[in-house]
Structure formats: structure tokens, C-alpha cells
Chains A and B, each alone.
Chain A
Amino acid sequence: MPADFYYGIEVVLNGLMAGVMYALVALGFVLIFKASGIFNFAQGVMALFAALTLVGIMEGQVPFAHLINATFGTEIHHFGWHVPALLAILLTVGVMVIFAWAVQRFLFRHLVGQEPIILFMATIGLAYFLEGVGDLMWGSNIKTLALGLPQGGARWIEDATAGLGGDDFYGFFIDKLDLVATLVAIVLVAGLIAFSQYTKHGRAMRAVADDHQAALSVGISLNFIWILVWSLAGFVALVAGVMWGAKSGVQFSLSLIALKALPVLMLGGFTSIPGAIVGGLIIGVGEKLFEFLVGPMVGGATENWFAYVLALLFLVFRPQGLFGEKIIERV
């Protein structure tokens, strides 16, 4: 086998890993869209906010420090303690649940029955609001997320595969962090599926996603389910924020990962959890392979646009995505 073949495989593997990262973001969109028909533009900012909050809590930062100092003329920035990672994660989940409740209570409860485009606009407003709150609460400097996640290439994979493609081939380079992300994503998806299939609230969630009126008639509180769904989306955002934050630092450009989720959703369909995963993988592998095979011919940097062009093609030929519900209007 020529070395190029193994390089190709390495590209595919790395593409799959990247795809997992995209899928993590897309998952949050699917959860909310399925249950409430809201396309949540704020999902990326939620990931940013969750990551900021996690770092802030871990490092014992005083929330709203700048505001407090400016108002009272004090000089406090840190509590002076460090919170262990696990406890900090739990506290962050708590913050995301409160956020979910507030979104429902102060925003969407007042927009019941509005057009989807109005709800979408509301989430754009929410995105910028949340970005501002994140800034005000935790400051705008770039933070490093020190969760102790492994970084760098996995040497054992490299060693095990070295020499496969001849003497020039040094083995597959796989980032350890990507491996962790894959593992986390698998656990997360398995958890979400188990939750929605086997628990009371999961069943209620599916019911609400399917038919509001029928859900009400069997005693399901829509309000409660929506808070639950936004909390879950907040949790997924936290996971995505942690993974992306560990990869590229917790900074405000993190909110832009939402844009990477869009083509994933076009491919996978807006209403399918497996679709979000498969869509993410296809985009990840597709853009890496395209860059590897076609990139050199067109001067590279195809990764910036490949996903969107693929999404456009899907919009033209299969608008419901690979797994989305068919749009059939019976007359």
C-alpha cells in the first residue's frame, strides 16, 4: 500500500474527530428545535457562556467584578479559592438550568403562538444579550480551561501504526483531546437517547415534540418541558464549550462555532439526534478529505467554504436533510 493511502485514512480519522466536535454543537440546536420549533441562534453563545462560567467558577473569579468595583470603588477580582473541576461543573449546570428557566419565564412565555421567524429573531436578541452578560460577569480576556484533559498526539496510536505505509510513514497522528471528545460525545448521545426513551420526562418530551394539544390532554405541562429542554440544551452547550474551549481557549469567538453547526443541521435534518451526529461526521470527513484531495489544486483553504457549499447542494436536492421529517402536505 502506498503511503498516500494511509495519509488518506489519517485524514478521514481526523475528519471524524472534527465531525464529532461539530455534532456536539448541532445537538443542542436539534434538542430545542424538536421540542419547541425554535431555531436557537443563541446555542453557540450558550456554549461560550457555559465555558466562561465554568472557568470563572473554577478559578474563583467574582462574577460582575468590574461592575461591582466600578459602582462601589472596591478592588475585588477573586475570592481567592479554587473550586475542584467536578463541583464547578455541577455549579455550571445549575447556572444553565437557571438560565433555561429565565429564558422561558421572561422571553418565550410571552411569545407563545408567534411565527417561527419571530421566535428566531428573539433568539438572535438572546444571543447578543447573553454575550453581553457573559462579558459583564466574567470579563472579556481569553481564558484557558485547565480541566486536566489530555492534549497532544496519542503516541501509542502513532507507534502502533508507524511503518504501515513504508519507512516514510510515521503513523497516524490523532489528538488525544479529540479522542476524549469522541468518548464524551458517545456517552452524551447514549445518555440523551436513554433519557428520551426510558424516562417519564423523556417520554413527555417526545410527546411535546410531536403534538402540543395531545400532550396537554394527557397532563403534560408544556412550560416545564420547555425549561427541561433548554436545560438539556444548556448542558450540551456546556459539553461543547468545554471541548472547544479546551481545544482553542475560552474566548468570545467560541460563539461562532454555531455557524459551523448550520451545515451540519442542513445535512442531518433539524429534528434528528442521530442526524446531527451523522451530519457532523460527514461534514468533518468531507471537508478534511476535500482539502486533502482537491485543496492543493485550488490553492487550499477549502475548509472555510466546503461545508456551506455542501449544505447548499443539500438544500436544493434534499431540503429535509438525511434524517429530517419529510415535508409532505396532505390535501
Chain B
Amino acid sequence: MSEVQTGYVTEDGRQIGDVMLDLRAITLRFGGVEAIKNISFDIREGEIRAIIGPNGAGKSSMLNVISGFYVPQEGEVWFHGKKRPPVKPFQVARQGIARTFQNIALFEGMSVLDNIMTGRLNYTKSGMLAQAIWKGKAEREETENRERVERVIDFLEIQAIRKTPVGRLPYGLKKRVELARALAAEPKLLLLDEPMAGMNVEEKEDMSRFILDVNDEFGTTIALIEHDMGVVMDLSDRVVVMDYGKKIGDGTPDEVRNNQDVIDAYLGVAHDE
């Protein structure tokens, strides 16, 4: 059950706002397999919300439902207080929900700068002809787009690689470029699918810092999937725990940590003989 008006204040004193995204009784099936079973939870404005769970729990499926890549068979998605009709992923992106992928989906043939500029496509309204001949409104737009992109590049400390083709970058930097592209779109809600998978400790620390800073500086609401429990507990305000497509826990990191179902799911449970 989600109350609609009031937010809350986090331990570190940040004000969390109203419900931004509300998932109600989502069920997703692939043939006979139920990947998500009747799950409800919400994401509030300004929050960092984590989705955790063992492998195959349905976390990525959940993210794909939010970003429109999967259409659930049952349940409703409410965004900014309105019920969302079935939509295509590109329409979700245009509504202000940006995302990254578990296996990195970048435009490998383009430079870092061009990749990040694609995040601005929806802010480019002037017509083809105007752009081709580079005048007035088109020029102003291009300047605005460049400003935002430069800010994101500075922010994520990737100035040095801006002209490099993405295909040549190491894994950790690719992850960062993907985040940059998502941020360039000025999203209201940012979805991160395992932003730290495959990173070493140092890279994880960098990425954690970026996530906190994004939330702090841009006020972006963030939902993320992560396996590293230490990271999740440090970063997130509230945590949803999934196991075998079901929700087995939901609350602050402390609450979740002490939830018996969650402990069982992660450590295994001794069955009575």
C-alpha cells in the first residue's frame, strides 16, 4: 500500500518527495514461466531505490517493465499520478525515464561525445532543413545541448576520452559513458541495471560516488539493481528484495538486513527433516 501525499526525511537529512512511479500488482510471464509474480512497490521523488535479489530473481525483468522493454500481462504502472497505457521503450524514454543496461548498450562505432549527444535527441526539436543549414533556433538548441553534455562530461570526469570511439574503451569507462548518455537526457527517473558489475573496488567507489552526486546535484531519482550488498546498503534509501519473481522484502537497508526471509533467500535455509 502506498500513501500518496507525504514523503519522508532520510537519515542524512534529504527530503524525499511524493510517489513518482507506482507499480501495482505487476505480473510478467514468458510462456509458462512467471518472471515476476504480483509485485507492487513505489519509487519516490529524489530517492535512491535499490532492487536486489539472487540471480534469476526477476530484477532485470522488473527494470525492463519500468522502461517499457517488457509489457507485463497483469498490473498497472503509474507515473506521476497517471496510469501509463502500454507504451514502447522509446516513448518511455521521451517521458523522462533513462536507463543503462547490464551488458552495456552503447553505440560502439561512435565517439564518446556522439554517444552522449544521442541522449539529447529528444531535446532537438528544430526541423531537418534548419539543422542542415545551421541557423537560429537550431543553433541555439545545439548550444544548449552542448552545454548539458559538457556538464555531464565534466561531472563524470571523462574529458580525456571525449573523442575516442567507444569500442576502444575499457569496460569500466564504457559503463561510465553509458551513465553519461543517460544523464544527458536530463531524466526524472534514472534506471541503472548493475552499474558496478565486473568492476574492481576502486571503480566501484568511483561509481558509487557518481551515483550519490547525480542524486544530490541534479536531484535525479534513481532506481538501481546491484549485487554488491555493501554498496547497496551504503547507497540506497529504500530496498526492494526479490526472489524467484516474488517480493520478499521492502524497506530501509536496516529493515531489509534484519528481515528473516531475506536472510534465508541469501544464505539458504535449513529445511526441517
Contact = CB atoms under 8 A, between A and B. Distances in A.
Given A218-B121, A221-B88, A207 B107 contact: yes
Interface in A95-119: none
Task: Give the interface size class of chain B.
Answer: 20 to 34
A243 to B, nearest CB: 24
B90 A221 contact: yes
Nearest to B184: A218
A216 B182 CA distance: 12
Contact of A216 (B69, B128, B132, B185): B69
B121 A198 contact: no
A201 B121 CA distance: 8
A250 interface: no
Contact of A210 (B108, B128, B182): B108
B131 interface: yes
B181 interface: yes
A204 B121 contact: yes
Contacts, number: 84
Interface in A221-246: 221-222
Contacts of A194: 132
Contacts of B105: 211, 213-214, 217
Interface in B44-99: 67, 69, 88-91, 93-94, 98-99
A interface secondary structure, majority? helix
B90 A210 contact: no
Interface stretch (B11-19, B112-120, B215-223): B112-120
Given A195-B132, A203-B117, A217 B67 contact: yes
**Which interface residue of A200, A203, A210 has the most chain B CB atoms within 10 A?**
A200
17 contacts: A198-B131, A198-B134, A199-B128, A201-B128, A203-B114, A203-B121, A207-B118, A210-B108, A213-B105, A215-B107, A216-B69, A216-B89, A216-B90, A217-B98, A217-B100, A218-B122, A221-B88
Given A207-B121, A210-B110, 11 more contacts: A194-B132, A200-B128, A206-B109, A207-B107, A207-B118, A209-B109, A214-B101, A216-B69, A216-B89, A216-B90, A219-B93
